[in-house]
């Protein structure tokens, strides 16, 4: 009997997985008939997952013929919407803390770590911006120094990327010096825009976001010893979905319980995980979350 190589085993596993999804979605003659008359699924997702999740959803829709709508935003904002009654099928949070808040409120049927990330310091160009000394701690000291007039970060009180940024500055002993010149964004993509458009000379964003803008350069990667490991969690919600701008009761409408569970599980397949890795995310096993509340 011929022994399969590691790449061949991965390909075979992926094929079996995709066959499972196609069978679960009940394709016949290349057309999906199981979802006729069903509503779409609604996913609430952290803004930093915009590009990667968009590609994952595109693949899922092509496999199962189910429309997946997404409400992207800061994890804190999305969690508050859910806690206030907005309906959705799946919540993808950039912080375990907000996933835990949803769980504590009794809205989560299941939650699991799905991917990891890292925080980096970015600037528009290295030519126009003083180079940071090597080492994450030195880079943060450089941001707090008079050499940099404006630093952009996400909201350090609520948005995960901002909370991680504040934690790093505090661990490096530079928070009090840098806080006076912060330009605060409502989510990490806004921070990216601030730096890209010249509103700030530098900023702290996820490594996955830094790759989105060709005008930005990574000055330094922030050591996870300063931020704590960064882990995203996927939450399967108890109810169906509603318009993301309305606050209707959970459990009304939606793409059906089975459809929500299928999409939730798809996020952990080899194919979906490969998409996340291609966009710079790390395996969930490499990360931990913010401790405490």
* pLDDT tops 70 at residue 31: no
CATH number, domain containing residue 194: 3.40.190.10
Whether pLDDT at 197 is above 50:
yes
The band of 256, judged by pLDDT with boundaries at 50, 70 and 90, is: confident
Q: Give the whole-number percent of the chain exceeding pLDDT 70.
A: 73
**pLDDT confidence band for 277 (50 / 70 / 90):** very high
The structure's pTM equals 0.77
pLDDT number for residue 138: 84
Between these two residues, 250 and 162, which has the higher pLDDT value? 162
The pLDDT score that the predictor gives to residue 134 is 55
Question: Both 77 and 148 in a single domain?
Answer: no
Number of domains in the chain: 2
Q: Kindly state whether residues 129 and 272 are assigned to the same domain.
A: no
Is the domain of 112 the same as that of 179? Answer: no
Of 234, 288, 196, 261, nearest in space to 60 by CA: 261
Using CA atoms, how far apart are residues 85 and 56, in angstroms rounded to an integer?
A: 27
What is d(CA 108, CA 258) in angstroms, rounded to the nearest whole number? 15
Q: Are residues 102 and 143 in the same domain?
A: no
CA atoms within 13 A on the CB side of 288: 8
- What integer best gives the mean pLDDT of the chain? 81
Inform me whether the pLDDT recorded for 169 exceeds 90: yes
Statement to judge: residues 32 and 102 lie in one domain: yes
Higher pLDDT, residue 219 or 166: 166
Residues in binding site for molybdate: 48, 75, 161, 188, 206
Q: Are residues 184 and 254 in the same domain?
A: no
> Bigger pLDDT: 193 or 124?
193
Binding site members: 48, 75, 161, 188, 206
Instruction: Look up the domain containing 173 and give its range.
Output: 119-221
Is residue 83 a contact partner of residue 102, using CB atoms and an 8 Å limit? Answer: yes
Task: Assess whether 95 and 139 both reside in one domain.
Answer: no
Please indicate, yes or no, whether residues 214 and 276 belong to a single structural domain of this protein: no
Mean pLDDT of 198-215: 91
Q: Domain check: are 168 and 202 in the same one? A: yes
CB atoms under 10 Å from CB of 143, counted, come to 30
User: Which of 221, 242, 259 is the endpoint of a domain?
Assistant: 221
The more confident residue out of 26 and 233 is: 233
Pair (207, 127) in one structural domain: yes
């Amino acid at each position: 009997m011929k022994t399969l190589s590691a790449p061949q085993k991965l390909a075979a596993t992926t094929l079996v997985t995709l066959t499972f999804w196609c069978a679960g979605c009940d394709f016949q003659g290349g057309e999906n008939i199981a979802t006729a008359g069903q509503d779409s699924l609604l996913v609430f997702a952290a803004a930093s997952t915009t590009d990667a999740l968009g590609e994952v959803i595109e693949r899922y829709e092509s496999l199962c013929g189910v429309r997946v709508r997404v409400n992207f935003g800061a994890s804190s904002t999305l969690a508050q919407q859910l806690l206030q009654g907005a309906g959705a099928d799946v919540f993808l949070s950039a912080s375990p803390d907000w996933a835990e808040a949803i769980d504590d409120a009794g809205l989560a049927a299941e939650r699991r770590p799905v991917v990891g990330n890292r925080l980096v310091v970015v600037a528009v160009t290295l030519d126009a911006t003083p180079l940071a000394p090597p080492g994450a701690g030195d880079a943060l000291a450089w941001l707090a120094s008079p050499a940099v007039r404006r630093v952009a970060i996400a909201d350090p009180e609520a948005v995960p990327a901002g909370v991680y940024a504040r934690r790093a500055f505090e661990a490096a002993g530079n928070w009090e010096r840098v806080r006076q010149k912060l330009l605060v964004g409502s989510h990490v993509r806004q921070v990216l825009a601030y730096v890209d458009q010249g509103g700030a000379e530098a900023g702290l964003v996820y490594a996955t976001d830094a790759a989105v803008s060709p005008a930005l350069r990574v000055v330094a990667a922030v050591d996870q010893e300063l931020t704590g490991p960064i882990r995203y969690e996927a939450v399967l919600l108890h109810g169906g979905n509603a318009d993301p701008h309305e606050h209707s009761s959970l459990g009304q409408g939606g793409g059906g319980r089975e459809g929500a569970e299928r999409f939730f599980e798809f996020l952990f397949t080899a194919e979906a995980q490969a998409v996340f890795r291609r966009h710079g995310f790390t395996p969930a096993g490499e990360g931990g979350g913010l401790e405490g509340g």
